[in-house]
Structure formats: C-alpha cells, structure tokens
Amino acid sequence: MKKRLYFGSNLKMYKNVHDTIAYLEQLQQLTADLNREKYTLFIIPSYTSHEQACKKINQSLIKLGAQNMCWEEQGQFTGEISPLMLQELGLELVELGHSERRHIFGESNEMLRRKVNASLSHGFTTLLCIGETGDEKDYGISDEILRIQLKTALLDVKEQDYGKLWIAYEPVWAIGINGRPATTDYAQEKHSVIRTALVELFGKQGNDIPILYGGSVNLDNAASLIVQPDIDGLFVGRSAWDAQNFNTLIRDAVMAYDTQPLV
C-alpha cells in the first residue's frame, strides 16, 4: 500500500515577515495541485511571522508550525512561548527538540518529555526531532542514543495522541552548511531502529507514526531517500528555503515514490 508522504521545512532564524509570507504564498501556489490526501506539506517559520502566516495561508494545504514551545501555559519563563499563545494564533504544528535547541540551548530529554506532553495535550501535531552527534556515531552508540531520546521524550504519550505524533530523524553531523548527508542506507538503517522503538512503545500503532529524514536533504538525494521503506517524509532546511527549489525537490521525490512498483 502506498503511504502518505510528508514534506516540510524549518526556516530556523531566517526570513523576516515579508519574506516569509512571500515564500509561503509562492509555495502554496506552486504546490496547489498536489493531492493532500496523499501528501502533507508543512512550514515552520519564525514566531514573528506566525500571525500573518496563519491569516494568509490555508493550513489544509500547508500546515504551519512553531520551532519550540514551553511546557507551561504561563509563568516566569522569560523568552519562552506558551502553548496557549500558539493556539491563539491558530498554529497546528509544534516542532520540538531540534538539534540546535538541544545542543546550542541545552534542551534535555527530560525537558522534551514535558514539552511533548504539553504539545499533545494542547492538541498540536507534534514533530519530535532526534539524532546522534558525530562523536556518538563514531563511538558506535547511535542506536542507543536514538532509543534513549525516543523513550524518554515519549514516555507518557497516550494512545489517543499517537495520531498526532511525527518523528524527524536528523543526525546532527548531517545538518547545515558543515553537514554531509547521511547515505540512504545509513538513513534507512536508523529509521528502522526508530520504527522498532516506536513499536516497543506503542505496539503495532507505532508502525503508523511518520518518521521523516532531515539533514542536508537536497535535489540529488531526495528521491533515493523517500523510496526507503521506513522513510515517510523529508524535513528540509537550506534546499527548501527557495520555494521553486522546494517544489522541484518535492516533485522529484513524489515521482520517484510513485513510479516504484507496488509491494
């Protein structure tokens, strides 16, 4: 059976409000014909763009998300953003645990467990990012790290929320200008480790949780990644920040996926 595919981008700390809206409108127009019964598209811009983006973009075509969120609804949390504030804007998606949040801003697995719980209990589709560092890979402990990150952050997830959970596997060493993409074999192998951990956590419903690959996805590797059995989507940084480029990447991936023989 053909599975739903996911394509999205985190805009990180790039693009002002004007540029974000222009980008989103262009992407919405370029991808208007893509069947949303088969493909989910999402973009995660900066907080300052959310209000206008929510007014101008149809989230049944492109879901909009936040790059982080506090686990509390209000309180003395200077610089944080509350689930109620994101709900008020009408956002549907929250990304948690991006490697830049973990490694530059010190977010721990325990903090992420609280954030995942808060995000799901406020009704957000929740995209949890996990991934090993280059050192962890060199020590040969990538699988252990992925399992710890998943099993800690997802400890309390309730059955009613399984359908709102997405995972992004983003090996830290593969992200950004100094990153090098994981080989498709390596990515598939780690997605399979993640799939097994999800099934251990959630039983056979773990098979239905989408696992997206991120880290130097580009026009050269998108098609070969998306056809891997345990890769359900692509979470793209730099190669998505031009709407035309992202549209081409999505279509290359869709074409590769759709022309595979049915298993």
Q: Is 131 in the site for ligand 13P (CB under 6 A)?
A: no
Place of tokens 């790059």: 67
Residues in contact with ligand 13P, counted by CB under 6 A, come to a total of 15
Backbone phi and psi for residue 256, each to the nearest 5 degrees, phi listed first: -60, -40
Q: For ligand 13P, which residue of 7, 169, 235, 246 counts as binding (CB under 6 A)?
A: 235
Cβ distance to ligand 13P smaller for residue 183 or 205: 183
- Cα–Cα distance, 58 to 165 (Å, whole number): 21
For residues 198 to 217, the per-residue mask of contacts with ligand 13P, x marking binding by CB under 6 A and - elsewhere, is: ----------------xxxx
Q: 170 an active-site residue? A: yes
Question: Which one of the listed residues 92, 95, 132, 170 is annotated catalytic?
Answer: 170
The alpha helices in 97-141, defined as continuous H runs, are 99-103, 109-121, 134-138
Place of tokens 């580009």: 218
Q: Is 126 in the site for ligand 13P (CB under 6 A)?
A: no
> Is residue 207 a contact partner of residue 195, using CB atoms and an 8 Å limit?
yes
Q: How far is the CB of 179 from ligand 13P (least distance, A)?
A: 5
Place of tokens 């879901």: 63
Please list the residues that pair with 235 across neighbouring strands. 8, 214
Q: Is 232 in the site for ligand 13P (CB under 6 A)?
A: no
Please list the residues that pair with 9 across neighbouring strands. 43, 236
Stretch that binds ligand 13P, among 132-140, 149-157, 175-183, 221-229 (CB under 6 A): 175-183
Q: Is 175 in the site for ligand 13P (CB under 6 A)?
A: yes
Q: Is 176 in the site for ligand 13P (CB under 6 A)?
A: yes
Measured distance between the N- and C-terminal CA atoms of the chain, rounded to whole angstroms: 7
Q: Is 20 in the site for ligand 13P (CB under 6 A)?
A: no
Tokens representing 58? 């149809």
Q: For ligand 13P, which residue of 118, 231, 236, 249 counts as binding (CB under 6 A)?
A: 236
> Is residue 126 a contact partner of residue 132, using CB atoms and an 8 Å limit?
no
Q: Is 127 in the site for ligand 13P (CB under 6 A)?
A: no
Picking from 258, 261, 235, the residue whose alpha carbon sits closest to that of residue 131 is 235
Stretch that binds ligand 13P, among 53-61, 76-84, 172-180, 200-208 (CB under 6 A): 172-180
Q: Active-site residues: which are they?
A: 98, 170
Binding-site ranges for ligand 13P (CB under 6 A): 10, 98, 170, 175-176, 179, 214-217, 235-239
